[in-house]
Amino acid sequence: MNEGNPRRAGRRHRFRNWSGHVHAHPHTMATPASAQELADLIRAANDSGDRVRVLGAGHSFTPVAAGENVMVSLDRLNGIIAVDETNRRVRFHAGTRLRDIPRLLAPYGLALANQGDVNPQALAGAISTSTHGTGLDFTGFAGTVTGLSLMGPDGSVRELSATREPEVFDLTRVSLGVLGVITEIELQCVPAFDLIAEERVWGFDELLASLEKRMRGADHFEFYWFPHTDTVLTKTNTRVGPGEIGPGHLAEAGVRSPVLNFVDKEIVENGALRLAVELGSALPRLVPHINRIAQSAVSDRTYRAPGHDVFVTPRRVRFNEMEYALPFASGAEVIRAIREIIEEKGWTISFPIEVRAAAADDVPLSTASGRDTMYIAVHRFVKDDFAEYFRVIEDIFRAHGGRPHWGKIHTLGAAELRGLYPRFDDFCALRAEADPTAMFGNRFTDSLFDVR
């Protein structure tokens, strides 16, 4: 296994992830402008025994993208390569940011099938950790990938799809950058759509009693529970074609103006949240009161906007996060168990717990591989220590067969992960074959995939 090049002890670059929790100091931070430049860089690193991590947007909460020797950003390799309008398949350079995709797809009347709640991520970064949104008729990003180009340690590129090396294709769709550098990604897109968003406040017990039905009955359903309160904020999004009238009571939903959108997302959601978590961090005993005030200030509303505008909210308040993928049917029980332990421990938790769902897919290392999934996420403000809270909640997640999000905080290693993924050993075998010296990795990924 490569341990890096000891001759490069000079000036170091500085990498910090989005939450500021992860730091790295590689000797090289490169942004190649072409596939040829990237291949030269990879070959040079291989020759000199350097380890390489490809960086997306640094939005993972773990050291998964942190490079010990060489870090490579594909920010300059972005945009659309080809569009198959008949089959609605679009091939992108892997460094394309999610935030740019709606603009790039607009001329073709296409959209991403589903999205998570933010969009700064690189497309390759999002698929590599099994990033997902919510909606039981939709998979995460990796489930919509129909083709990939993968650059190996010698700079050569393998073209992968359901018909070209299908076994390698499947295993590469979620691969955390340890099989090589993904340079191109083909995605199954869908016709552009609007969402009619309904935000409602519900009682905690009332919602949990009908959670499965609510999630199965909506295109996209998620909810937030503020600890120390008895209510939840639900978000139900219904898909409609642009210009199409919404069904039933949604027919009158008005298009939200950009100004109101800004006020809601920047001032109400981010400004008020910042105030609440800063105050809660300085005076933890006030947190239950602050959460109750925050929850009571939320009111029901319905509005309509292009899908990507509804899915995404800027996150200006920094936090650390743990999220597990649970078998769908166990979700409500896990949420109740989290509530009980928070009350029993007497913790004061200012950030809401976020609950979403996704369809089963056939991607071996997808967190929703082979099963409909409920995602439950816990967060802590960056100024608050997350260690004990996450450790205890992780025990609950694990007791219910949860799989950790590959980009969010967890404590599992290969021994535990093997039991969660039937194809785990196939993945480790492919990794060893594709990259025998483990140049595409770091200590953190070594612990995930048994690299010694």
Ligand X SMILES: Cc1cc2nc3c(=O)[nH]c(=O)nc-3n(C[C@H](O)[C@H](O)[C@H](O)COP(=O)(O)OP(=O)(O)OC[C@H]3O[C@@H](n4cnc5c(N)ncnc54)[C@H](O)[C@@H]3O)c2cc1C
In the complex with ligand X, which residue's Cβ is closer, 228 or 405?
Answer: 405
In the complex with ligand X, which residue's Cβ is closer, 253 or 365?
Answer: 365
Any idea what DSSP says for residue 361?
B
- Mapped onto helix, strand or coil, the DSSP state of residue 62 is coil
Between the CA of residue 288 and those of 293, 295, 318, what are the distances in Å? 9, 11, 20
In the complex with ligand X, which residue's Cβ is closer, 18 or 253?
Answer: 18
For the bound state, the minimum distance from the C-beta of residue 208 to ligand X, rounded and expressed in Å, comes to: 22
In the complex with ligand X, which residue's Cβ is closer, 253 or 381?
Answer: 381
Paired strand residues for 202: 232
229 phi/psi in degrees, rounded to 5: -125, 165
Long-range contacts at 99-106 (CB < 8 A, ≥ 24 apart): 99/312, 101/308, 102/306, 102/308, 104/79, 104/80, 105/189, 105/192, 106/192
Closest CA to 150 of 64, 58, 35, 53: 35
- Which amino acid is residue 366, in one-letter code? S
For the bound state, the minimum distance from the C-beta of residue 365 to ligand X, rounded and expressed in Å, comes to: 12
For the bound state, the minimum distance from the C-beta of residue 377 to ligand X, rounded and expressed in Å, comes to: 8
> What is the chain's Cα-based Rg?
22
In the complex with ligand X, which residue's Cβ is closer, 133 or 227?
Answer: 133
Pairing of β 52-55 and β 70-73: parallel
> Exposure of 334 by Cβ count < 10 A (0-12 exposed, 13-18 middle, 19+ buried)?
buried
Paired strand residues for 304: 196, 255
What is the b/e burial string over 271-306, where b = at least 16 CB atoms within 10 angstroms of the residue's CB? eebeebbeebbeeeeebbebbeebbeebeeebbbbb
For the bound state, the minimum distance from the C-beta of residue 334 to ligand X, rounded and expressed in Å, comes to: 18
Cα angle at 25 between 23 and 31, to 5 degrees? Answer: 105
Can you give the binding site for ligand X, defined by CB under 6 A? 18, 53-60, 64-65, 74, 94, 116-118, 121-122, 124-126, 128-129, 131-132, 176-177, 181-182, 315, 405, 407
For the bound state, the minimum distance from the C-beta of residue 227 to ligand X, rounded and expressed in Å, comes to: 19
Cα angle at 408 between 405 and 410, to 5 degrees? Answer: 85
185 phi/psi in degrees, rounded to 5: -135, 125
- Mapped onto helix, strand or coil, the DSSP state of residue 178 is coil
Residue 309: CB atoms within 10 Å: 18
For the bound state, the minimum distance from the C-beta of residue 315 to ligand X, rounded and expressed in Å, comes to: 4
11 phi/psi in degrees, rounded to 5: -60, 135
In the complex with ligand X, which residue's Cβ is closer, 51 or 59?
Answer: 59
In the complex with ligand X, which residue's Cβ is closer, 149 or 253?
Answer: 149
In the complex with ligand X, which residue's Cβ is closer, 50 or 228?
Answer: 50
Could you tell me how many residues make up the chain? Answer: 452
In the complex with ligand X, which residue's Cβ is closer, 171 or 253?
Answer: 171
For the bound state, the minimum distance from the C-beta of residue 52 to ligand X, rounded and expressed in Å, comes to: 9
The answer to whether 149 and 160 are in contact (CB under 8 A) is yes
Tokens of 102: 């709606």
Closest CA to 249 of 292, 213, 196: 196
For the bound state, the minimum distance from the C-beta of residue 269 to ligand X, rounded and expressed in Å, comes to: 12
For the bound state, the minimum distance from the C-beta of residue 316 to ligand X, rounded and expressed in Å, comes to: 9
In the complex with ligand X, which residue's Cβ is closer, 132 or 371?
Answer: 132
In the complex with ligand X, which residue's Cβ is closer, 125 or 404?
Answer: 125
For the bound state, the minimum distance from the C-beta of residue 313 to ligand X, rounded and expressed in Å, comes to: 9
Tokens of 226: 């503020």
Residue 259: CB atoms within 10 Å: 8
For the bound state, the minimum distance from the C-beta of residue 53 to ligand X, rounded and expressed in Å, comes to: 5
In the complex with ligand X, which residue's Cβ is closer, 348 or 373?
Answer: 373
For the bound state, the minimum distance from the C-beta of residue 100 to ligand X, rounded and expressed in Å, comes to: 13
